[in-house]
C-alpha cells in the first residue's frame, strides 16, 4: 500500500505552531473539522488524547503517529503535519517531534486502521524519507514524495 494513497494534498499541514502534545492534538482535530472530516473537533481531540494516555505515539526519529477510531466515520483519514519547531511529544527516544502522521479510522474498520499504521511505519523506517519530507515546503511536493512508495 502506497502511503500517498491514504492521504491527499489538502490534508498536509505545514508550519504548525504547537509546542506541546495537547496543543498539537487540538490543532490537528481542528484542521480536520475545518475540512468537514470531523463533525466535532473536541470529540476527536478527546479520542486522540485518550490514546496518548495509553502511551505516547511518538515513535522516535522526530516522528509521531497519533491515531484513534471515531464512530460514524465513513472512510479512514490520514493527515500529515509538520511542526515549525520540535514538539515535546513524549517520544520513545526523548527527541522532539516535527513530523506527525494523524490516522483516524472508522470504529467499524480495525483492519483498515492497522493497515494505515503499518504503511506509515514502513515508510518512516525507509531512510532518508523523513529528512526528505522535512526539507520540502509545499504540500503537493510532500504528497508526490509519499506517492513514490517505500
Catalytic residues: 67
Grid cell, residue 112, equals: 483498515
N-to-C CA span, the chain? 9
Strands 97-106 and 67-70 come out as parallel
Tell me the three state secondary structure of residue 121: helix
Q: Yes or no: say if 46 and 102 are a contact pair by the CB < 8 Å rule.
A: no
Radius of gyration of the CA atoms of the chain, in A: 14
Amino acid at each position: 500500500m502506497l502511503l500517498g494513497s491514504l492521504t491527499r494534498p489538502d490534508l498536509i499541514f505545514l508550519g504548525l505552531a504547537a509546542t506541546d502534545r495537547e496543543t498539537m492534538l487540538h490543532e490537528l482535530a481542528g484542521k480536520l473539522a475545518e475540512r468537514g472530516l470531523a463533525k466535532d473537533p473536541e470529540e476527536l481531540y478527546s479520542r486522540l488524547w485518550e490514546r496518548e494516555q495509553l502511551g505516547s505515539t511518538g515513535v522516535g526519529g522526530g516522528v509521531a503517529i497519533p491515531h484513534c477510531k471515531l464512530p460514524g466515520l465513513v472512510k479512514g483519514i490520514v493527515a500529515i503535519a509538520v511542526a515549525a519547531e520540535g514538539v515535546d511529544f513524549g517520544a520513545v527516544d526523548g527527541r522532539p517531534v516535527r513530523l506527525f502522521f494523524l490516522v483516524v479510522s472508522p470504529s467499524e474498520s480495525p483492519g483498515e486502521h492497522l493497515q494505515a499504521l503499518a504503511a506509515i511505519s514502513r515508510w518512516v523506517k525507509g531512510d532518508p524519507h523523513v529528512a526528505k519530507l522535512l526539507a520540502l515546503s509545499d504540500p503537493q511536493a510532500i504528497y508526490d514524495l509519499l506517492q513514490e512508495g517505500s
